[in-house]
Structure 1
């Protein structure tokens, strides 16, 4: 698990290679990642947007941007957390992702960029 904290917002990520949904001989590798966003600050924040950089050893880097996460724009009161699971397909069994969330402080509308820590996606193709 990788963790980063930006202005009291902690982002933790755990990645899993999904061998049962992957086809290495067809250059198709599936990974899921669980994200836990925890508000350890004294302010309420709403997650508005996400930005991801995806690096695949077999392709050029990709930039993905959009509203919210998995169709949601959660608001986190102090002490609250939001957990979601998403996925990424790679053409190689080796890649990484990193990014940021744009969050709005509810008391004054100030926007902050919360760092999403870089995590690696490495296929375990030597499983039984």
Structure 2
């Protein structure tokens, strides 16, 4: 698990290879990831948007941005956590993702950016 704390927000990432949904012969490698967002601050925050940078070992690069996560813009009270699952497809057995979230401090409406730690996406067959 990769974790990073910035602006009082701890982001932790766990990754999973989806063997049953992947098709290596067709160069389709499917991964899921679980993100845990922990608000270490005393104030509540709202997750407004996300920006992802996705790289695979074929030197392909994609950017994904949008409002919230998995259709939500969650409010996370001080000391609480929010967790969600999402996924990513690659055209190779290995890749990497990183990015950031945009949050709003609900006490003073200050907007701030929180880094998402870089994490590897590696199909188990590549580890042999």
**Aligned match of 1:30:** 30
| CA-CA distance at 1:20 after TM superposition | 1.2
Contact 1:50 1:69 in 2 (8 A): yes
| CA-CA distance at 1:58 after TM superposition | 2.0
| CA-CA distance at 1:59 after TM superposition | 4.5
TM-score in terms of structure 1 length: 0.96
Contact 1:30 1:87 in 2 (8 A): yes
**Aligned match of 2:7:** 7
**Aligned match of 2:94:** 94
Q: 1:106 to 1:126 in 2, by over 3 A?
A: closer
Partners of 1:126 and 1:30 lie apart in 2 by: 14
Q: Could you tell me which runs of 5 or more consecutive residues in structure 2 were left unpaired when the two chains were aligned.
A: none
Q: Could you tell me which runs of 5 or more consecutive residues in structure 1 were left unpaired when the two chains were aligned.
A: none
Q: Number of residues paired by the alignment?
A: 127
**Alignment RMSD (CA, Å):** 1.2
Contact 1:56 1:95 in 2 (8 A): yes
TM-score in terms of structure 2 length: 0.96
